[in-house]
A and B are shown apart, each in its own frame.
Chain A
């Protein structure tokens, strides 16, 4: 306990809270990296010829470690920390006062998604609102992850988008059977001649959903790679003709030549639109299966 001139007591808890926060962030980061390193070392072998980590005892590409996994882990940890911060802020906030800042943003987001879910599915499926909120938060973070520039965005991986497609597909079937019983399955054979088309349409849904997202984000990433390489190559060519030797600094110019606008289009705009389309299509299919 410390005492100042006014005789006010400070507990140890109040003084170095920022220091504790910074130390815990650094320690947590180091621990997470160490933990991931240990897991990778225990489970994977490094394949020198292919330059990839391969799950022990396998040779197939199905079990190799791709950089998108790193993106998934980074986003997951970031979102978890963010959720904990939001949780503490909401717990601290006085419900009778006007909400401010982050709390206001979170309340607006939650109530918007809730309203959307109620409009789409009705009151009986209001519990699906967090799933829609999760899709919105995760897909948007994943789509704009390319802006950070370390690893490719997770949604440029078909396995990731397919997992979303399959989870949405399972939710559709679950609610369809829950609210319509066997009628949900027998309706596929209603005009019996059309039953193959119905079945293919139903099964194709998760693939169309995931391929749409995957294709859009991957194409954005590819185009950005091409643009960066092209600009760097062009500058290298110009510098070589001027100075007579390749300085190899063409990459430094790329961020200043119209690339920010392309990033706004391919990462922010396209990411937002694809998130929105994904959510909208999922909601439409879920509500049409349930009602």
Chain B
């Protein structure tokens, strides 16, 4: 019991009675620990957090910028695509119109040429016929001359004349 009383007495006496050495040790410890806590722990942590938030903000900004850019590009591409489609349609329409035009033109030309060719052929035929007719006339005259010559030279009877002419015609016919 005496031991317990001494223990408790020491605890209470050591703790309760004012003691300047303890007081100033604690003040010194407080100053040292406060200074080093601020310098060694608080500042580095706050710097680290600041750096982290800076990096995060920068990343967000760049992501936002990239998204914006991508959207702009997409809009541009969509616009281009629309334009291209319209252009293609227009080109097809133009081609169709042009094809129609050239078709009519070709038909017209062909008709013209056909008409020209027919005309030319007709002309040629006429010319040939005229030529043939002329040639025939000349031949007939010649024949008549030859026949007359023969008739005059031979001086024959009617029967013989007839035979001669027939013979001549036969010759000519051959």
Contacts and interface: CB of A to CB of B under 8 A. Distances in A.
B142 to A, nearest CB: 124
Nearest to A160: B26
Contacts of B23: 159-160, 162-163
B37 A163 contact: no
A80 interface: yes
Q: Is the interface of A mostly helix, strand, loop or mixed?
A: helix
Interface in B1-50: 3-4, 7-8, 11-12, 14-23, 25-27, 29-30, 32-34, 36-38, 40-42, 44-46, 48-49
Contacts of A110: 41-42, 45-46, 49
16 contacts: A67-B14, A80-B32, A80-B33, A80-B36, A90-B45, A131-B34, A134-B37, A138-B29, A154-B26, A159-B20, A159-B23, A214-B15, A218-B11, A222-B11, A222-B12, A225-B4
A76 B32 contact: yes
Contact of B41 (A65, A73, A106, A159): A106
A164 interface: yes
Contact of B55 (A96, A106, A134): A96
A137 interface: yes
Contact of B15 (A79, A93, A111, A218): A218
B112 interface: no
Given A130-B34, A134-B33, A226-B4, A63 B20 contact: yes
Nearest to B45: A110
A242 interface: no
A157 B15 contact: yes
B49 to A, nearest CB: 7
B51 interface: yes
Interface residues of B, number: 38
B120 interface: no
B96 interface: no
Given A90-B44, A95-B55, A83 B37 contact: yes
Interface of B: 3-4, 7-8, 11-12, 14-23, 25-27, 29-30, 32-34, 36-38, 40-42, 44-46, 48-49, 51-52, 55
A93 to B, nearest CB: 7
Q: Give 10 closest A-B pairs by Cβ, nearest first.
A: A87-B40, A159-B22, A66-B14, A159-B23, A163-B26, A130-B38, A110-B45, A95-B51, A83-B40, A90-B44
A157 B25 CA distance: 12
Contacts of A222: 8, 11-12
A9 to B, nearest CB: 31
Nearest to B54: A95
Contacts of B14: 66-68, 152, 157
Most buried by B among A61, A62, A159, A221: A159
Most buried by B among A63, A68, A75, A114: A68
Contacts of B41: 83, 86-87, 90, 106, 110, 133
A133 B42 contact: yes
A214 B16 CA distance: 9
B24 to A, nearest CB: 8
Interface of A: 55, 61-69, 72-73, 75-76, 79-80, 83-84, 86-87, 90-91, 93, 95-96, 106-107, 110-111, 114, 129-131, 133-134, 137-138, 152, 154, 156-160, 162-164, 167, 214, 218, 221-222, 225-226, 229
Contacts of B32: 76, 80
Contacts of A73: 25, 29
Nearest to A79: B33
Contacts of B20: 62-63, 159
Given A69-B21, A225-B11, A93 B26 contact: no
Contact of A218 (B12, B36, B44): B12
A72 B37 contact: no
Given A69-B25, A72-B25, A107-B49, A158 B16 contact: yes
B15 A158 contact: yes
Contacts of B16: 158, 214, 218
Contacts of B26: 72, 154, 159-160, 163-164
